[in-house]
Structure 1
Amino acid sequence: MKFYGIVVFLAFAAFAQGVPHNGRTKRSISDNLETLVESIQALASEVNEDLGIPAFDPFTDDSVAISINQTLAKLEGELTDLNIDGLSDFSIDTLKFTLIGLKFTFAFTWPNITFSTGYSIDGTVASILPIYGDGKASGEITNLAVSGTVAISVKNSYLYLKSMSSAVSLDDLDIQLSGLLNNDDASALIAAVISDTVPQILVDFQDVISDTVNTAVTEYVDDYLGSMTLAELLALIGS
């Protein structure tokens, strides 16, 4: 979930930059939010030393631990030399903030994301199918859509994330694998199955996936919000 942490950090760091205003034009909070997100897109390939924001498109990491303990899969392993392209190329389908209930509503679509990584993995899928191996993985994701609602509340003068709901879907996945089950023929077959079934798996197991994402993001957001008051948040958004 390290990537989610970086995304959340970038979002709140954008707040800290302030919002450009046109004195002749009255802007809504939602307008200001959209400006902030667009500023994140503009920063994607640059390092901002003043704010401590790393470049995130492409997103790279030498090593990412894998630890999944869910009904669908129980897996342990590692990704190495991870590279993801296209994270900043997304459309803002919905982005709103309402003072009543302190709610953010969002929907974004990434038309094309490509990735490559080395991997080692060991575990089971559906409690009975063994999955293991060391090799390479690469692929392309088409029309990844992420949407949801975040509600914020106040405790002891500081903010915290009260609730979060989210949904994830994609139109197509094309993945290539080597080294899975220590057999390249098996890797090719499994890659084809994964490519064909993941879009539907996201539909069938949406609740499990959403719960996992919501829990991880809540931890990162609360680490940041815990030092911010409501007045400070509204001032940064430009209310």
Structure 2
Amino acid sequence: MKNIVIILFLSCIFAGINAYPRKLNSNVRLEPGVSGPMQDVLEKLRNLIHNGNETLGIPVLDPLIIPSIDINLNTSALKVNLEAEGISLTGIGDFDVSNIDITLLPMGLRFEGSFPLTKLVAEKYDLVGKIAVLPIYGAGNVLFEVGALKFKGNARIAVGISGVSLRDLILELSLGSFKSETTGMLGGGDIDQVINAILADWVPDFFNSNSDSIADLVGDTLLTSINQVLDGMSLADLIDLVTGGS
């Protein structure tokens, strides 16, 4: 997932850089439906996410297939041991970018978009843990549907002889809806429907109530990861990455 978001963000950077030499005004706005570098880059990016690129070493990312995971968390409030198999994530390649504003002095990017619908499936999971003093456990399968995950942000970009780098990244996030069809929690059976209904109400409320902290964490992680990808990368290298080498 993180790799997908990094490639998406790098594509927005490339679109801004590609527009730079053609525009002399200090604020360039690319609207949906306007032909230009952004539309071409985003279409190539969707194709890259759905089909991968063997030459560049980029696998198919939608669907993103993860054979298994093993997660162990141990904090004062949460203790979790989770094993899951047969995991797939779909819908990431169908992202929308509704707006991009490019400023030239200093060079920056303001962007807005969404992932309309993403689905996470696990064919099998096994969970044991505690939330505070309350035990949690379960074994079964998982289907999560995340609707209208919206993102908005701005970043400062440096383009020089040494290459491209990201100076800062500020994000805003919001979640529209969440649907769960998980089985086997707390023994499963009739309680599955109750737990799924609770999750459908609780997850969006929790996410949106804590969106600032979540966005800060995601932004800091992406800033570090993106600059690691960009380290030593020329503009030509960036173009090859986000256009699939074409």
| TM-score computed with the length of structure 1 as normaliser | 0.75
User: Counterpart in 2 of 1:121?
Assistant: 127
The one-letter amino acid of 1:85's match is T
Aligned length: 228
| TM-score computed with the length of structure 2 as normaliser | 0.73
User: Counterpart in 2 of 1:191?
Assistant: 196
How far has the Cα of 1:235 moved from its partner? 11
Q: Which of 105, 116, 122 does residue 111 from structure 1 map onto?
A: 116
Listed as ranges, the matches of 1:11-160 within 5 Å are 12=10, 26=22, 31-66=36-71, 75-117=80-122, 118-125=124-131, 127-153=132-158, 157=162, 159-160=164-165
How far has the Cα of 1:89 moved from its partner? 1.6
CA contact (8 A) 2:175 2:208 kept: no
How far has the Cα of 1:184 moved from its partner? 3.5
Q: Which of 216, 224, 228 does residue 229 from structure 2 map onto?
A: 224
Q: Matches of 1:228 and 1:113 in 2, distance apart?
A: 31
How far has the Cα of 1:15 moved from its partner? 7.9
Q: Matches of 2:200 and 2:127 in 1, distance apart?
A: 18
- Residues 165, 14 of structure 1: alpha-carbon distance in 2 compared, 3 angstrom cutoff: closer
Q: Which moved more, 1:138-147 or 1:27-36?
A: 27-36
1:124-145, CA deviations, whole angstroms, 9 ceiling, x for partnerless residues? Answer: 44x3443333321103222221
User: Counterpart in 1 of 2:2?
Assistant: 4
The one-letter amino acid of 2:100's match is L
User: Counterpart in 1 of 2:33?
Assistant: none
Identical columns (%): 26
CA contact (8 A) 1:108 1:147 kept: yes
Q: Does residue 209 in structure 1 map to residue 209 in structure 2?
A: no
CA contact (8 A) 1:92 1:107 kept: yes
Q: Matches of 2:56 and 2:13 in 1, distance apart?
A: 11
How far has the Cα of 1:153 moved from its partner? 4.7
Q: Matches of 1:154 and 1:67 in 2, distance apart?
A: 40
How far has the Cα of 1:49 moved from its partner? 1.3
- Residues 13, 70 of structure 1: alpha-carbon distance in 2 compared, 3 angstrom cutoff: farther
Q: Matches of 2:72 and 2:171 in 1, distance apart?
A: 21
Unmatched runs of 5 consecutive residues or more in structure 1: none
Aligned Cα root-mean-square deviation (Å): 3.8
Q: Matches of 2:234 and 2:48 in 1, distance apart?
A: 26
The one-letter amino acid of 1:147's match is K
- Residues 135, 155 of structure 1: alpha-carbon distance in 2 compared, 3 angstrom cutoff: farther
Q: Matches of 2:224 and 2:232 in 1, distance apart?
A: 14
Q: Matches of 2:90 and 2:113 in 1, distance apart?
A: 16
CA contact (8 A) 1:58 1:86 kept: yes
